[in-house]
Structure 1
Amino acid sequence: MDFLKVKNGAVVDESGNRVRLRGTNSGAWMNMENFMNGFPGCEHRLRFFAKQILGEELGSYFFDSMLGNFFTEADVEYIASLGMNLLRIPLNYRHFEDDMHPFVYKEEGFQMLDKALDWCEKHNVYAILDLHAVQGWQNSDWHSDNYTRSALLWRTLHFQDRFVALWEEFAKRYKGRSVIAGYDLMNEPCTNTDYTRMPLLPYDGRWDEMNKLYRRVTEAIRKIDSDHIVILEGDDFSRRFMGLDVPFTDNLMYSSHEYSLVGTHPELETDEQKRDFIRKEFLEAEGTKFAMKYNVPLWVSEFSFLPDQVELYEEMNVHWTQWSLKGVGGGFLLHTPDDGAYNSLVRPVMDKALFTSPHWGEEASRELREQIIALSETVKHLVGAKNLDNVEHPVYFNTTIGDNYVDCMLQYPYLELFQGKNKEELDHILSDFRFDRCQINKDVEERFRKYCKS
């Protein structure tokens, strides 16, 4: 496979031909996410409790089986069959480094990633390494495997040193692998959550800290690996770009996330109105404006699939990867069988989870949700912060109380569902994540075939 480069605002191969990158994310594999894997709370806390409830051996085996079934060569072969040429691989630093042994790297994590890269190479699919969960956490949410609501990366030099060193390790190991299209340095940074996620406006980004760290890690990578594209995401969950330094070196690509709000506007009744709304969203997004201003390639690395979005990206020559390949419910290309062993087993717990996939029922948690909204209104009145008038403050209460408290408490009853089962029984249940057991979202599949093979 050719090494890809950025030249004159475009991604090109070694012959100078333009390359359009289209694909998906491997999703909740080397960085598990509750609403995708169908468990409550955040990953590393679940791993801790698993060894308490299931025992050391089975507690580890549970995750080996989950991840071993979740993503295999069959998934990459399927991606290639759709005409996709790109797979973004979200990574959790904990697969490569232990907090108690900083700067010492785990071979088992690299072996796991190497297998995926071999599959991609075999099926002619480029990969982008995406550090989705960073040491010290780059944002306050569950997808960086964070249960504290504080992003410590931005004010802790130790975590920044480890972040840079891990990218140096990636560069040393993969500098010669052309199957890797680029290095996505950090997923959805959110620099104003260093002390907690506060719903106060205006957004107070730490641009100096972000630019300094981006320059530092890029320079460190370039000293080892001058070939691979380096990808920078915007602040505020990849939505804000105007405080970023101007492109400061060559071979840079920028990544934005475009989760459209079109579905929250019931007044948009016709298809034409919805298309116009999506177009306006995209053209007014800071990532779009930044890429146009500086003539750098733009990659929408995450979006919930909407046909109008993809058609717009195709029209605007934007690279894209849909979020995401696989999960327990709708919105994915593949999902576990609704009446399968896994969904049937975990449903009683997941129906109670507050912050999880809409695939699960909400009736059991409706009363608590209503109480959270009432509590948020009470606190708003008590605090009297006028800034709260401009945000959906119940969302912050729901995330903090739900994801970081209630759902973490639900991890015990979730794991107790697997108590007493042997390895064979665990494999049977968790094999529902295997490609040949998953159900295919045919509508999404056909649209992707159309776009990727056009």
Structure 2
Amino acid sequence: MAGLLKVQGTKIVDTQGYAVVLKGAGIGGHMNMENFITGYPGQEAEHKEALLKAMGQEKFDYFFDKFYEYFWTDKDAEFFKSLNLNCLRIPFNYRHFVDDADLFTIKPKGFALLDRIVDICAKHEIYVILDLHAVPGGQNQDWHSDSGIHKALFFQFSVFQDSMIHLWKEIASHYAGNPWIAGYNPLNEPADSKHHRLVEFYIKVEKAIREVDPDHIIYLDANTYAMDFSQFPATPFPNTVYAIHDYSVYGFPGTGDHYSGTPEEKQNLLKLYSRKIEYMKQKKVPVWNGEFGPVYASEARGDINYEKANQRRYQVLKDQLAIYKTGDPSGDGAPISWSIWLYKDIGYQAITYVSPKSKWFQVLGDFLLKKQKLGLDKWGRDADPEVEKIYDRVKAHFHEAIPQEFHKLVYPNNFGIDNYVDRVLREMLLSQYMGYEFADLFKGLDFAELDELAASFKFENLETRDDLNKYLSEY
């Protein structure tokens, strides 16, 4: 066992001073659920409210108890380890630990869920990074912050920030001294339009964590969805790794269908990565790429030439991994640590995925195809062309009505007007309505059927994305 990890220059090292490269994945839609990962529309809180209304409390509790149990087991850990991966990133939603009506009383069940995964990982000698993926009010404008609106209210209300500082102090106290905790990731993909509020939060949360746990590494995401360190402090925090997310448009439907790994395309991948780690180069601190990875085409979703499309996207992945293999900010040609997004889903991105023959697809398959046709999810959106024509007209209206100079005042403006229209109309409003249709499919299912539904996510019942896994294991 390497003992507690720490930062030394631009490296993560063990107690003997040997460099450790963390290679792994985010666990998936478990303690933080995301719509494309398991198939529901919209935001997690709305999804669960709709399910509770449709199923009743007893069946709701039963289903989710089984879902959490089956999502990560010893067999998952064994397979994860067999791929030469050594670190699991665990995204979690604040609602597992506190209620909205009482943001400062910690619920023991959150620790029970988290401890179970940490203990399984420790048993199989897998490090864990704890990632607060959703906070009160939302730390960014997207669905995965589970706020239900397109504003990052977390940075506007000190009570939200104070409650999460309190939570992190409890978490750090709970896991202090645990050698299999690789560290704490206090905020996933923050997007603070004023920048300084994020930095001020980091200063406070770092201090609170260090009061109870001076030893574990802290992983700080850049602002604007883990891409912008331009307004971070001149003096880095001690024993801290700075985190980017490095998704490429080449890995997604549309643009990714034409990638062939030309020198120009590879140079563009390198340019985007190099821009994101400029702060780490200047300050001589480590970088961790907390998320990256293509979205893959699927025969089950009716994608044409899906095998050819996926070979192009695997090439994107391989070219990114080649950058990370010599991407240390010190310039000495050493590898960086990374965590691919993600380990388990229903067939979009993950190392393992739910079988199209499973109970999940028997019950929800037709709805999932309808959802895809409507293009409700931002991630991997590939809607029916006739549906796109409807939104194209709306987007054209917005472009005509909004002078470009005023859109530039909206943060983040690089997302574009089209993205904002999709976010509000599809990913939030229409998805809210569709969430009730999704939940309605759970009505009338008995306990045995609910168990089988949850067991769709058990490792024994999954498919594995073998080409992806080959490239990861050979890194």
Whether TM-score is above 0.5 comes out as yes
Change (3 A) 1:384 1:361: closer
Show CA shifts across 1:42-63 (max 9, x none).
1111111112111121123232
Q: CA deviation at 1:401?
A: 0.8
C-alpha change, 1:10 and 1:266, in structure 2 (3 Å) is: same
Distance in 2 separating the partners of 1:222 and 1:348: 50
- The CA deviation at 1:380 is 2.1
Quick check: 1:147 aligned with 2:148?
yes
Residue 406 of structure 2 corresponds to residue 417 of structure 1: no
The alpha-carbon distance between structure 1 residues 361 and 426, as it changes in their structure 2 partners (threshold 3 A), is farther
Larger displacement relative to structure 2 (81-90 or 334-343): 334-343
SS of 1:99's partner is coil
CA contact (8 A) 2:6 2:216 kept: yes
Q: Describe the shift of the 1:176–1:266 C-alpha distance in structure 2 as closer, same or farther (beyond 3 A).
A: closer
Instruction: Say if 1:235 and 1:337 are closer, same or farther in 2 by CA, change over 3 A.
Output: same
Structure 1 residues 52 and 12, CA, compared in 2 at 3 Å: closer, same or farther?
Answer: same
Q: Quick one: distance in 1 between partners of 2:368 and 2:441?
A: 11
1:401 has 2:392 as partner: no
Structure 1 position 359, deviation (Å): 7.7
> Which amino acid in 2 is paired with 1:29?
H
Cα deviation 1:202-259 (Å, max 9, x = unaligned): xxxx122111111011011111110001111111100111111134431010000000
| 2:402 aligned partner | 383
With over 3 angstroms needed to count, the CA separation of the structure-2 counterparts of 1:169 and 1:358, relative to structure 1, is closer
The one-letter code of the counterpart of 1:258 is D
Cα pair 2:291 2:340 within 8 Å, conserved: yes
> What is the match of residue 48 of structure 2?
47
Q: 1:47 to 1:12 in 2, by over 3 A?
A: same
- In structure 2, do the counterparts of structure 1 residues 243 and 265 end up closer, same or farther at CA, with 3 Å as the change threshold? same
1:263-274 equivalences in 2 (<5 Å): 263=251, 264=255, 269-274=260-265
User: 1:312 is matched with which residue: 308, 323, 329?
Assistant: 323
Q: 1:294 aligns with which of 277, 283, 287?
A: 283
Amino acid aligned to 2:360? Y
CA shift at 1:339, angstroms? Answer: 2.6
* Amino acid in structure 2 at the alignment position of 1:260: S
Measured after TM superposition, the shift of residue 168 of structure 1 is 0.5
Q: 1:412/1:290 Cα in 2 relative to 1: closer, same or farther (>3 Å)?
A: same
Return closer, same or farther for 1:356/1:64 CA change in 2, 3 Å cut-off. Answer: farther
1:446 equivalent to 2:470? Answer: yes
Which AA in structure 2 matches 1:122?
A: K
Q: What corresponds to 2:103 in structure 1?
A: 102
Q: Which amino acid aligns with 1:119?
A: I
Taking a change above 3 Å as real, the CA distance of residues 412 and 91 of structure 1, as seen in their structure-2 partners, is same
Greater displacement, 438-447 / 333-342: 333-342
Instruction: Note the 1:18-37 alignment, pairs <5 A.
Output: 18-37=19-38
Residue segments in structure 1 that go unaligned for 5+ positions in a row = 193-205
Structure 1 residue 267: deviation in Å? 7.0
Q: Which residue of 1 aligns with 2:82?
A: 81
Contact 1:351 1:362 in 2 (8 A): no
Whether 2:229 is the aligned partner of 1:229: answer no
Partner of 1:255: 243
Amino acid at match of 1:376: K
Which whole-Å CA distance do the structure 1 matches of 2:257 and 2:149 have between them? 35
Aligned partners of 2:104 and 2:167 also within 8 Å: yes
Q: State the TM-score, normalized to the length of structure 2.
A: 0.87
1:440 deviates by: 0.5
Checking the alignment, whether the CA contact within 8 Å between 2:378 and 2:423 is kept in structure 1 is no
Q: Comparing 241-250 with 96-105, which one deviates more in the overlay? A: 241-250
Aligned to 2:229, which of 233, 241, 258? 241
Q: Deviations over 1:179-212 (max 9, x none)?
A: 10110010000112xxxxxxxxxxxxx1221111
SS of the aligned residue for 2:24 comes to strand
Matched residue, 2:366: 348
Q: Is the 8 A contact 1:352 1:362 kept in 2?
A: no
Is the CA contact 2:352–2:464 (under 8 Å) kept in the aligned structure 1? yes
1:342-374 CA-to-partner distances (Å, cap 9, x unmatched) read 1232122222323338789733xx434322221
C-alpha separation in 2, matches of 1:108 and 1:311: 41
Residue matched to 2:314: none
The AA in structure 1 aligned to 2:399 is K
Per mean C-alpha deviation after superposition, the further-off stretch among 402-411 and 376-385 is: 376-385
Matches within 5 A, 1:3-18: 3-18=4-19
CA shift at 1:323, angstroms? 0.2
Within 2, Cα distance between the matches of 1:27 and 1:191? Answer: 25
The aligned residue for residue 374 of structure 1 is 393
For structure 2, the residue ranges without an aligned partner over 5 or more in a row are 295-316, 328-334, 409-413
Give the length in aligned residue pairs.
434
Question: Would the aligned equivalents of 2:398 and 2:417 in 1 still touch at CA under 8 Å?
Answer: no
- Map 1:103-118 → 2, pairs under 5 A: 103-118=104-119
Contact 1:347-1:360 at 8 Å conserved across structures = no
Provide the C-alpha distance between the structure 2 equivalents of 1:170 and 1:271, rounded to a whole number of angstroms.
46
Letter in 1 for 2:394: L
The aligned counterpart of 2:304 is: none
Residue 387 of structure 1: how far off its partner (Å): 5.3
Asked whether the 8 Å contact 1:73–1:116 carries over to 2, the reply is: no
Correspondence for 2:312: none
* SS of residue in 2 equivalent to 1:103: coil
More displaced stretch, 115-124 vs 354-363: 354-363
Shift of 1:269: 4.3
